[in-house]
Amino acid sequence: MTITTTSAAITATGLRKSYGDQVVLDGIDLNIPRGSVFSLLGPNGAGKTTAVKILSTLTTADAGKAAIDGHDLASDPDRVRAAIGVTGQFSAVDLLLNAEENLRLMADLWHLDRRVARWRCAELIEQFDLVEVAKKRVVTYSGGTKRRLDLAMTLVGAPRIIFLDEPTAGLDPRIRRATWQIIRNLVADGVTIFLTTQYLEEADQLADQIAVLDHGKVVAAGTPEQLKRRVPGGSIVLQFAATTALDDASRRLGGLMIRNDEDLSLQIPSDGSAQSVQTVLNQLDTQSIQNLSLRTPDLDDVFLALTGQPRTNTDEKVLA
């Protein structure tokens, strides 16, 4: 892959990063067109946050090259910073200031003209439903309100490229949907979004391109449709009464499955149709099945389908 495309908002080749002897990013290539939404999808510890930190100049890559808005990350970080907005996983707001003051702080640091700053902050307060709390100190805000302010602060300077690191993690479904709408509005204005998420649905809803990250490597990339075609739409979960029954069933079925010895269950990829359920059941001794349930696709299924093996949770907390 080359990084000559001038129309690209973000390009990268061979980004690598290790902390000690732990490899966090193991050669990432990116080519994200302007005005599109790119989603890096992966579990905790996959390297998503590290990728955002490298691309937003918070840390440097051990190897590889990247350019944001045509500016080289290593040689011209100030121009990169002038082009981007970043909302990290943890709220970067001043708790002792109120919403208005936080936004004005950003406006001052973006070196906006005083009049423009006043207008822009008022607009964002309105847009992000912060009118009622505008004069209250942030320390009194709920988690969702704080997150809205955090996002509004990122937008003060109207950056054309925005990094959102798990913007909806820990938010309730209503606020999550509201956040999605904000992101859609930004995209409608031609802003490029780099989004990391653990939720397949979020990537599906928003992204033009998705890359699935696992242990620092992109294991699959494509449009949501391309990826979903490879994810057979969910899984059948079978629970057994005894280990012998579990052994017997996994032998009979073969192929891809997640076996859980603790709750004696098998998870088999499936499109959720009655026929697929019947096909599975026909191969088994139905007497030995204690419980059957259907699951809609989630990240586990993506991993099962795309990597051919269930994702390992052993180092999930490493970068949490």
Partner 1 sequence: MSTATYAVSDTATMLRRNLKNQLRYPTSVIAIVGIPVLFLLLFVYVFGGALGTAVTTIASGGDNYVDYILPGLIIMTAATGSLGAAASTSVDLTEGIIARFRTMAIFRPSILIARVISCEIQTLASMALVFGVALLMGFSPTAGFGGWIAAIGLLALVSFALTWLGMAFGLAAKTLDAASNAPFPLIMLPFVGSGIVPTDSMPTGVRQFAEYQPFTPIIETLRGLLMGTPIGNSGILALAWSAAIALIGFIWAMKAFARDRTR
Binding part of the chain for partner 1, among 106-114, 169-177, 217-225, 298-306 by CB under 8 A, reads 106-114
Q: What is the dihedral of CA 186, 189, 192, 198, to 10 degrees?
A: 30
CB of residue 109 to partner 1, shortest distance in Å:
5
CB of residue 196 to partner 1, shortest distance in Å:
15
Using CB under 8 A, pick the residue from 92, 116, 131, 241 that binds partner 1. 92
The DSSP element (H or E) to which 26 belongs, if any, is strand 22-33
Residue 40 near partner 1 by CB under 8 A: no
Residue 60 near partner 1 by CB under 8 A: yes
Please give the Cα distance from 232 to 277 (Å, whole number): 13
Residues 6+ apart with CB under 8 A from 182: 127, 128, 151
Binding part of the chain for partner 1, among 76-84, 173-181, 245-253, 288-296 by CB under 8 A, reads 76-84
Using CB under 8 A, pick the residue from 88, 216, 224, 234 that binds partner 1. 88
Binding part of the chain for partner 1, among 62-70, 87-95, 115-123, 300-308 by CB under 8 A, reads 87-95
CB of residue 8 to partner 1, shortest distance in Å:
20
Residue 155, token pair as written in the block: 């937008």
Residue 251 near partner 1 by CB under 8 A: no
Q: Which is nearer to partner 1, 159 or 224 (CB)?
A: 159
Please give the Cα distance from 104 to 116 (Å, whole number): 11
Specify whether the CB–CB gap between 125 and 100 falls below 8 A.
yes
Residue 91 near partner 1 by CB under 8 A: yes
Specify whether the CB–CB gap between 182 and 151 falls below 8 A.
yes
Residue 115 near partner 1 by CB under 8 A: no
* Span 14-33, contacts to partner 1 by CB under 8 A: 19
Residue 272, token pair as written in the block: 């959720």
Closest Cα partner for 261 from 275, 247, 282, 280?
247
Please give the Cα distance from 39 to 82 (Å, whole number): 22
Burial of 99 per CB tally in 10 Å (0-12, 13-18, 19+): buried
Using CB under 8 A, pick the residue from 74, 90, 135, 312 that binds partner 1. 90
CB of residue 176 to partner 1, shortest distance in Å:
21
- Residue linked to tokens 């209503």: 174
Residues found near partner 1 in the complex (CB under 8 A): 19, 50, 53, 56-60, 78-79, 81-82, 84-86, 88, 90-97, 101, 105, 108-111, 137, 153
